[in-house]
C-alpha cells in the first residue's frame, strides 16, 4: 500500500521543524515549571522548550509531584505542581514592560498528587477574574490562554481559593507577541479555539513549528475536503501562522456549497474576535479564479477576496462580533459569481473578549507596599497580589480610597503589633495619599524621620510603644501643636520632644502630669499668635496684590474683573519675569488663543506654549480661572497638559506642553505645507480627540462640556497625536437629575449647536453637535460655512449630497481615492447623527468613539495589507472549546 504523499510531506516538515527548534529563538519567553525545586532547569524533549523553576516568582505554596504512573502520559512540565493549601489568594509576580503584548498560558494537571482530584478555584489576572479552573479526575488537564497588553511594569497572576478545594498550578508560560497583532477595542482575548483546518494528521503542535508557541489543534470534517501542496508558503506577516498549517487547507466537498463555521456552546452575551489565515496552495490555470466573500450571520463584512498564491493573508474582524437574535455565531465563506473554484480556509483562531474592569492600585504605591513588606519581613498570609483590589481580598491593615475611573490609593496603613524591627522605612513616604499610619506596639528603633512631617495628607501617626530614640522633628511637633496632625509617641523611652530628655522614671512620670497642662497653655498661646500672624500676613498680601484695605469687604482685585483668585497648588507657578525669559521677551507668536496671544517658549529645555491673557479681554480672568481650575483636575492623554502658570497682578498666563504640529485646521487648509493627512491619519485624529471629549463628558465629576469644539482646538504633537485644547469656554455642571445648564451662549459660528443657541440650555450633546461638524471637515476638507454653496452650512450641504446618492462628490479630492469607502460612509453616517436637530437623538461621545475606532481598525487593516471579516451558511462545521491539551508528550 502506497504511503500518502501528503502524509510524507507532513512528517518531513515535522522532523525538519524538530531539528530546527533546537536552535529556535526563545527570547521573549518566560517558561515556568511550577513546583519544581529552586534552580531546576530542563529542556522538554518533544518541544525543546527550556523550563525553569517558578521559585523566584512566588513566595508561597508548596511543591508537589504527580504520581509516577501518570508521568509517561504527559510532558515533563506537568510532572510537578505548586499547591496552595494556605491563604485565600496566592500570586506570581513578573516584572515586565508596560505596553508589551503577551500570550499567557496557565496549565493544570492534578495527577493524583493528593486524594482530592475534583477541584474548583479561580485564576485571576491582577485584580480581575480570568477564569474558573476545575478538574474532575487525576488525568483531566485544564489549559487556559489569554492575550493581554500590560498596563504596568508588573504582572501578577493569582490563584484564589473559592471553596474547600486547594488551588494548584502545573506550568505558567508567557510568550511576547507583536503589538500590531490581535488588536481589540477593549479588554483582553481569551482563547476559544485555534484550529489547523485541513490538517492531514490528528496531532496538535506548538513551539518548534509555531514561532510564538501557539498550540494548534487539527480539525477535519466529513463535509469538507482537504487539499495540500509541497511548495513553500510565505508566512512572513505579523501573525506568522506555522507553515505546516498553511500548506494544507479545506474546501467544501460540494464546490457550489459555502463553508459555514458555527460557534456552539456559547452564551449569548459573549463577544468574539476571529482571525482567519488564507493562502492559495494550488497552481491556478489562466481560466481559473478563486474568489469569495466573508460573511457573518448573513452580512458581508469583507470581500470579494482572492487568496494570494503561496502567500499568507491574515484576515480578522476589526470589531467584536455578537450573537444574532437567535443566539447564532456563524461565519461563512461564500463563492462569488466570478469564481470558478470554491472557497478555502487554512487556519482559524477564535477569541472571546475578556473585560478586566478593576483598576490596579497606583504602581508607585504597590512598589512601596512591596518594599515595606520585604523591608520589615511582614509575614501576613493575605499580603498577596494587589493591596487594594479586589476589595474582598484587600490586605489586612490596609484601607484604600475607591473613586470611579481612578486607580485606588492607600489611605490607611495599620501595622500595629506586627513584630516590626529596625528603623521607620522611608518607603512609607511613597504612599502619597496616606492619611493614617499606625506603627504602634512594635520594637522599632532609631529616630522619628523628617519625611513624616512632609507627607501632606497624613492626619494621624501612632508610634507609641516602640523603642524609638532621639528628638522628634520640630516640623512634625509644630503640626501636632497646630492640630493638623494627631501624633502618639508615648512609651518610647529614648524619645525626646525637646532638647532636654527625661533621665529618670520619676521625671518621666512627673512629665506625664505636666505635659498635658503645658500643652494646653502652649496651644492657647499658639492659637492666639497664629490669629495675629494670619491677620498681619493677610493685610500685607492684600497690599502686595494691589487690594484696597479700606474697602468695605476688602475682597475686590483691582485688575481681575471682580473674580476671586483661584487656588492653584499642583502645578509650577512662575513669576512674570520667568515668563518673559522663557518666551525670550515674547519673541515668537504661535497664534491667538481663546482669550489672548499664544507665544513659543522653552522651560527646562522643553518647548512650551505660553498663553497670555490680554487686558482688553473682558471675560479674560473668568476664563483664566475656569481653565486653570479645570486643568488642575483634568488629566488625559488626549487633552493638552498644563505644565505651569503665572498669576502676578494683571499678568496672567498658562504654560502648556508644546504641540509641534499645530492645529488640525492648518493641516486641512494646507498652511502647514503640501503634506496631506491620509484618511487613516484623519481617522486616528478623530478617534483621539473623540476620546478626549468623551473623558470630559464621562470621566470628570462634575461633568465638563467643552463648548468650543472645532478644528483649531484640536492640536497635534510631534507624533501627530491629537489633543483637545482651549478650555477657556468650558463649563462643568452637576451630576444627578439636572441634565442641562442655562447659560450665556458661547462658541464658534458654524460649530454652535442650534438647539443650545435657541434655548440657552447647555448639555454635553452640544459638544456632540460640534464634533459632528469636525468629522465632516475631516471627510470633505470644506469650509464649515460657505455662502457660495447651494446649502451654506457643511451639514446641510452634505445632507443634500447624500440625498442625491453622491458621496464621492463630498470626499476631499486630496485623498485621491486612497480609502475604504465603507469607512467614509460610516464616518459620514456618524457625523450626520451628531448633527441631529434634536439633542436627545444625538449619540453620546462613547458611541462616537466606538464608531470611530471601528472605522480606524478597518482602515488600518486595509493599509497593513491585512484583511477583515464577518460571515454566513451551507457546508457547515461547529467549533467548541473541546480541543486536545498540549501537555501530552506527542503534542507537536
Active site residues: 708
**Other beta carbons within 10 Å of 382:** 14
Q: In which region does residue 240 sit, left (phi positive, over 0), alpha (psi from -120 to 50) or beta (all else)?
A: left
- Collapsing DSSP states into helix, strand and coil, what is residue 16? helix
Q: What is the DSSP letter of 713?
A: G
Cβ-contact 620, 613 below 8 angstroms: yes
Which residues make Cβ contacts (< 8 Å) with residue 544, sequence separation at least 6?
Answer: none
Angle between helices 845-863 and 764-780 (to 10 degrees): 20
User: 669-676: long-range contacts (C-beta < 8 A, 24 or more apart)?
Assistant: 676/814, 676/815
Give Cα separations from 130 to 54, 69, 88, 112, 148 (angstroms): 20, 32, 16, 25, 11
Is 611 marked as a binding-site residue?
yes
Grid coordinates 461565519 are at which residue?
331
Give Cα separations from 419 to 277, 368, 380, 394, 447 (angstroms): 59, 19, 11, 21, 18
**Other beta carbons within 10 Å of 730:** 24
Rounded CA gap, 139 and 143, in Å?
Answer: 13
Burial class of residue 449, CB neighbours in 10 A (0-12, 13-18, 19+): middle
Asked if the peptide bond before residue 478 counts as cis, ω within 30 degrees of 0, the response is: no
E-strand ranges in 406-544 read 409-414, 421-422, 436-438, 443-444, 460-462, 469-471, 486-488, 494-496
What the block records as the C-alpha cell of 469 is 530614640
Grid coordinates 511548495 are at which residue?
231
DSSP secondary structure string for all residues of 176-210: EE-TTSS--SSSEEEEEEEEEET-SSS--B-TTTS
Taking Cα atoms as reference points, which of 656, 771, 762, 763 lies closest to residue 711? 771
Rounded CA gap, 794 and 798, in Å?
Answer: 6
Q: Quick one: three-class SS letters along 490-507?
A: CCCCEEECCCCCCCCHHH
- Give the length of the chain: 892
Taking Cα atoms as reference points, which of 794, 695, 811 lies closest to residue 752? 794
Taking Cα atoms as reference points, which of 560, 599, 563 lies closest to residue 583? 599
Phi and psi torsions of 848, nearest 5°:
-65, -45
Give Cα separations from 34 to 136, 212, 886 (angstroms): 21, 21, 16
Task: Give the residues across from 82 on adjacent strands.
Answer: 63, 169
Taking Cα atoms as reference points, which of 382, 394, 389 lies closest to residue 356? 389
Which residues make Cβ contacts (< 8 Å) with residue 374, sequence separation at least 6?
Answer: none
Diameter of the chain by CA atoms?
Answer: 114
Binding region: 611
Residues of each annotated binding site for ATP? 611
Amino acid at each position: 500500500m502506497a504511503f500518502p504523499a501528503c502524509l510524507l510531506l507532513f512528517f518531513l516538515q515535522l522532523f525538519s521543524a524538530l531539528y530546527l527548534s533546537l536552535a529556535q529563538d526563545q527570547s521573549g519567553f518566560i517558561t515556568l515549571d511550577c513546583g519544581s525545586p529552586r534552580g531546576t532547569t530542563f529542556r522538554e524533549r518533544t518541544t525543546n522548550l527550556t523550563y525553569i523553576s517558578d521559585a523566584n516568582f512566588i513566595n508561597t505554596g508548596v511543591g508537589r509531584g504527580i504520581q509516577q504512573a501518570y508521568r509517561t502520559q504527559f510532558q515533563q512540565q506537568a510532572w510537578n505542581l505548586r499547591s496552595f493549601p494556605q491563604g485565600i489568594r496566592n500570586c506570581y509576580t513578573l516584572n515586565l514592560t508596560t505596553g508589551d503584548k503577551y500570550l499567557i498560558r496557565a496549565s493544570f494537571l492534578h495527577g493524583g498528587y493528593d486524594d482530592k482530584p475534583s477541584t474548583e478555584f479561580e485564576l485571576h489576572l491582577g485584580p480581575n477574574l480570568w477564569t474558573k479552573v476545575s478538574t474532575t479526575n487525576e488525568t483531566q488537564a485544564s489549559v487556559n490562554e489569554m492575550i493581554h497588553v500590560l498596563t504596568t511594569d508588573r504582572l501578577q497572576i493569582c490563584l484564589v481559593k473559592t471553596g474547600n478545594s486547594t488551588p494548584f498550578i502545573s506550568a505558567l508560560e508567557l510568550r511576547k507577541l507583536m503589538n500590531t497583532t490581535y488588536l481589540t477595542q477593549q479588554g483582553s482575548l481569551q482563547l476559544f479555539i485555534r484550529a489547523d483546518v485541513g490538517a492531514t494528521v490528528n496531532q496538535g503542535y506548538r513551539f518548534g513549528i509555531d514561532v510564538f508557541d501557539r498550540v494548534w489543534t487539527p480539525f477535519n470534517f466529513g463535509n469538507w475536503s482537504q487539499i495540500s501542496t509541497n511548495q513553500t508558503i510565505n508566512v512572513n506577516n505579523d501573525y506568522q501562522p506555522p507553515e505546516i498549517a498553511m500548506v494544507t487547507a479545506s474546501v467544501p466537498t460540494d464546490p457550489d456549497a459555502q463553508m459555514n463555521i458555527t460557534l456552539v456552546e456559547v452564551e449569548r452575551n459573549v463577544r468574539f474576535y476571529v482571525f482567519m489565515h488564507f493562502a492559495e496552495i494550488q497552481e491556478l490555470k489562466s481560466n481559473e479564479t478563486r474568489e469569495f466573500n466573508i460573511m457573518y450571520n448573513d452580512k458581508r463584512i469583507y470581500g470579494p477576496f482572492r487568496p494570494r498564491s503561496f502567500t499568507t493573508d491574515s484576515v480578522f474582524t476589526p470589531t467584536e462580533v455578537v450573537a444574532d437574535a437567535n443566539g447564532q455565531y456563524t461565519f461563512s465563506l461564500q463563492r462569488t459569481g466570478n469564481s470558478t473554484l470554491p472557497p478555502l480556509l487554512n487556519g482559524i483562531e477564535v477569541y472571546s473578549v475578556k473585560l478586566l474592569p478593576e483598576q490596579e492600585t497606583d504602581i508607585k504605591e504597590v512598589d512601596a507596599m512591596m518594599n515595606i513588606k520585604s523591608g520589615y519581613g511582614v509575614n501576613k498570609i493575605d499580603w498577596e497580589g494587589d493591596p487594594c483590589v479586589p476589595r474582598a481580598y484587600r490586605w489586612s491593615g490596609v484601607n484604600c480610597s475607591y473613586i470611579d475611573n481612578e486607580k485606588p490609593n492607600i489611605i490607611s496603613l495599620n501595622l500595629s503589633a506586627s513584630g516590626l524591627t529596625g528603623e521607620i522605612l522611608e518607603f512609607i513616604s511613597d504612599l502619597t495619599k496616606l492619611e493614617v499610619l499606625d506603627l504602634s506596639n512594635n520594637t522599632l528603633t532609631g529616630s522619628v524621620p523628617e519625611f513624616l512631617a512632609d507627607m501632606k495628607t497624613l492626619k494621624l501617626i501612632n508610634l507609641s510603644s516602640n523603642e524609638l530614640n532621639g528628638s522628634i522633628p520640630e516640623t512634625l511637633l509644630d503640626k501636632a501643636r497646630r492640630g493638623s496632625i494627631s501624633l502618639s509617641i508615648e512609651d518610647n523611652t529614648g524619645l525626646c520632644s525637646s532638647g532636654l530628655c527625661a533621665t529618670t522614671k520619676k521625671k518621666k512620670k512627673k512629665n506625664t502630669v505636666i505635659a498635658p497642662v503645658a500643652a494646653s497653655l502652649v496651644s492657647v498661646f499658639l492659637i492666639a499668635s497664629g490669629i495675629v500672624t494670619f491677620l498681619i500676613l493677610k493685610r500685607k498680601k492684600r497690599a502686595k496684590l494691589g487690594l484696597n484695605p479700606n474697602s468695605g469687604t476688602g475682597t475686590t482685585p483691582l485688575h481681575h474683573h471682580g473674580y476671586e483668585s483661584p487656588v492653584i497648588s499642583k502645578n509650577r507657578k512662575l513669576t512674570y519675569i520667568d515668563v518673559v525669559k522663557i518666551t525670550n521677551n515674547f519673541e515668537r507668536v504661535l497664534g491667538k488663543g481663546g482669550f489672548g496671544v499664544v507665544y513659543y517658549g522653552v522651560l527646562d529645555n522643553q518647548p512650551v506654549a505660553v498663553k497670555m491673557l490680554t487686558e482688553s479681554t473682558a471675560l479674560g480672568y473668568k476664563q483664566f480661572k475656569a481653565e486653570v481650575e479645570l486643568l488642575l483636575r483634568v488629566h488625559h492623554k488626549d487633552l493638552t497638559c498644563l505644565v505651569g502658570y503665572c498669576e502676578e497682578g494683571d499678568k496672567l498666563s498658562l504654560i502648556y506642553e508644546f504641540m509641534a504640529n499645530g492645529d488640525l485646521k492648518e493641516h486641512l487648509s494646507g498652511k502647514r505645507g503640501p503634506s496631506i493627512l491620509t484618511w487613516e491619519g484623519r481617522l486616528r485624529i478623530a478617534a483621539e480627540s473623540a476620546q478626549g471629549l468623551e473623558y470630559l463628558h464621562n470621566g470628570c465629576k462634575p461633568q465638563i462640556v467643552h463648548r468650543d469644539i472645532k478644528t483649531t482646538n484640536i492640536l497635534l504633537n510631534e507624533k501627530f497625536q491629537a489633543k483637545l485644547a482651549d478650555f477657556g469656554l468650558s463649563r462643568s455642571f452637576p451630576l444627578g437629575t439636572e441634565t442641562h445648564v442655562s447659560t450665556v451662549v458661547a462658541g464658534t459660528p458654524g460649530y454652535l449647536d442650534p438647539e443650545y443657541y435657541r434655548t440657552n440650555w447647555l448639555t454635553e450633546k452640544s459638544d456632540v453637535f460640534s464634533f459632528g461638524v469636525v468629522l465632516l471637515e475631516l471627510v470633505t476638507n470644506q469650509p464649515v460655512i460657505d455662502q457660495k454653496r447651494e446649502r451654506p452650512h457643511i451639514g446641510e450641504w452634505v445632507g443634500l449630497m447624500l440625498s442625491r446618492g453622491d458621496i464621492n462628490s463630498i470626499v476631499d479630492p486630496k485623498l485621491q481615492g486612497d480609502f475604504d469607502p465603507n469607512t467614509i460612509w460610516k464616518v459620514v453616517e456618524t457625523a450626520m447623527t451628531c448633527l441631529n436637530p434634536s439633542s436627545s437623538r444625538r449619540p453620546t461621545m462613547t458611541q462616537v468613539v466606538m464608531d470611530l475606532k471601528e472605522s480606524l481598525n478597518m482602515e488600518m487593516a486595509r493599509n497593513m495589507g491585512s484583511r477583515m471579516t464577518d460571515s454566513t451558511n451551507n457546508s457547515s462545521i461547529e467549533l467548541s472549546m473541546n480541543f486536545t491539551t498540549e501537555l501530552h508528550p506527542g503534542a507537536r
